Amino acid sequence: MTARLTAVVAGGGIGGLAAAAALGHAGIAVTVVERAARIADVGSGLMLYQNGVAAADAIDARLGERIRAAGHVVGPDDVRLLMDSAGTVLAREAVGEVGVRLGLPQVPVLRATLQNVLFQEAVDAGAEVRLGTALRGYAQDGGRPSAHLSDGSILESDVLVAADGLNSVVRAAMLGDGPPRYLGYTSVRGRVVGSPLHPQAFVINGQGVQIFVAPADGDTLYWTAKITAPPGEWPAMGQEGALAALLERIAGWHEPVADMIRSASPADLAVTDIHDRDPVPCWVDGRVALLGDAAHPMAPAMGQGANTALEDAYVLARSLRSYDDPGEALIAYQTQRVERTAAIVLHSRRQGAVDQGASRTEAASRDDAMRSSGRKDAATLEVVDWRPDKDVPCSKPVASSGT
Ligand SMILES: Cc1cc2nc3c(=O)[nH]c(=O)nc-3n(C[C@H](O)[C@H](O)[C@H](O)COP(=O)(O)OP(=O)(O)OC[C@H]3O[C@@H](n4cnc5c(N)ncnc54)[C@H](O)[C@@H]3O)c2cc1C
């Protein structure tokens, strides 16, 4: 009888827990180590697009069902309003119709809710999750990786999956490519329950500020404000300071939106600067592989970071099922993921700069583009049309290397 394959997953965020669920369903014995002592119930939400939903369905049909039940399933007639800061509608984006055309819905969901669903799925698939345990580093003598943990223990396994996010310690050891790159804007994210604007999704655009709003489960709306700013300034304000500064920045904007932001609880807010990294062709060292933001951190402009992490998780598990040699399986995973995610990273970087409308001219041309295209970002359509059985790289990789 062949021994059961073992995997350690570093990081219990969206990518790490999705990987744990996918690997568990593939019959692999998984241990997840997550630095945080618990899954925090703060912050806002994120948009699962058709590609993320398809990846979840492919990991396991029950996971797809759980995600739909936990989020807001966008209906066929739903539209997203694209507005200027005065509340004038620039376009009505037919987000529901896209779902009908692609045969899968968008599902906006609260981030902590999604993480809890993935946690449950991972545990149900047999994974052990050790909270409050950080990975300090790894070694790879004689082929099998060993994970060095904050409690002093060392965990050996057949593969080590690094899903430890933007500032991955595994990436630093593997690639040594320095800190991520600040993209010139920060984010303040929150949620409100019972807003009169619920369940309308919308994007409201000003100069140097864009606010994205979507319904989550129940009568919750989540919002993300992206603000052009020097690095570090907004996170240093703390939650209350950032809320006050945001309200000041949008003074005079469409009043219902300002009211919605005002009613957010500061304790729920997440304030983080936005970074990405230049794409790299290599995420694998022997039997160690990067996944999610550790591999391809990207601007949130296309809402693809978590969606592509779900894709990674499915493809990784499929590769490990298909190859006898885990090292070959990791190379196959890398080959299938690098080109597609590189194109999305670069497009997201460019789109993020467009979204900010940092000068008066740039803001006007962004608004004109939305008015004429009827969409926030036309390229998203091709990206969200990924499916597990036709997972080839984007047909039109984006060649640009920056904003
Ligand atoms: C403003 C904003 C809006 C976004 N909106 C969307 C959206 O709508 N749709 C979308 O798809 N994506 C969105 N994203 C991107 C998405 O949040 C990320 O891409 C996604 O969370 C990446 O998941 P991850 O698991 O790779 O990393 P993370 O979610 O960062 O998880 C990493 C985990 O690893 C843990 N960790 C870190 N270091 C260690 C260590 N040494 N040992 C053990 N554990 C460790 C951390 O505690 C964390 O739990 C958005 C991002 C931002 C900033």
Q: Which amino acid is at 131?
A: L
Atom of ligand 1 nearest to the CA of 18: 25
pLDDT recorded at residue 235:
98
Task: Kindly report whether the peptide bond that precedes residue 199 is cis, defined as omega within 30 degrees of 0.
Answer: yes
| 190 close to ligand 1 (CB < 6 Angstrom) | no
Which residues, 6+ apart, have CB-to-CB distance to 330 below 8 Å?
A: 159, 284, 287, 288, 289, 316, 319
pLDDT recorded at residue 380:
83
List, run by run, the mean pLDDT of 10-residue segments along the chain (403 residues): 84 98 98 93 89 98 98 97 98 96 96 96 98 97 92 97 98 97 98 94 98 95 98 98 98 96 93 98 97 98 98 98 96 97 97 96 96 89 90 39 32
d(CA 222, CA 88): 21
For a substitution probing ligand 1, which of 164, 271, 380 has the most ligand atoms within 8 Å of its CB? 164
Which protein residue has the closest C-alpha to ligand 1 atom 49? 13
For a substitution probing ligand 1, which of 8, 9, 17, 34 has the most ligand atoms within 8 Å of its CB? 34
For a substitution probing ligand 1, which of 17, 35, 41 has the most ligand atoms within 8 Å of its CB? 35
What separation in Å is there between the alpha carbon of 249 and the centre of ligand 1? 27
What distances in angstroms separate CA 354 from CA 74, 244, 285, one per listed residue? 26, 25, 36
Which protein residue has the closest C-alpha to ligand 1 atom 39? 164
| 169 close to ligand 1 (CB < 6 Angstrom) | yes
| 348 close to ligand 1 (CB < 6 Angstrom) | no
pLDDT recorded at residue 390:
72
DSSP letters for 216-229: -STTEEEEEEEEE-
Contact predicate 212/194, CB 8 Å: no
pLDDT in tens, 129-163: 999 999 999 999 878 999 999 999 999 999 999 99
What separation in Å is there between the alpha carbon of 250 and the centre of ligand 1? 27
| 210 close to ligand 1 (CB < 6 Angstrom) | no
| 208 close to ligand 1 (CB < 6 Angstrom) | no
d(CA 68, CA 116): 13
pLDDT recorded at residue 378:
76
| 110 close to ligand 1 (CB < 6 Angstrom) | no
| 35 close to ligand 1 (CB < 6 Angstrom) | yes
pLDDT recorded at residue 395:
35
Q: How many CB atoms lie within 10 A of CB 24?
A: 24
Which residues in 6-93 belong to E strands, given as ranges? 6-10, 29-34, 45-48, 80-84, 89-93
What separation in Å is there between the alpha carbon of 85 and the centre of ligand 1? 29
pLDDT in tens, 304-320: 999 999 999 999 999 99
| 135 close to ligand 1 (CB < 6 Angstrom) | yes
Does the global pTM surpass 0.85? yes
Atom of ligand 1 nearest to the CA of 166: 30
Q: Which amino acid is at 198?
A: H
Atom of ligand 1 nearest to the CA of 272: 53
CA dihedral of residues 151, 152, 158, 164 (deg, nearest 10): 50
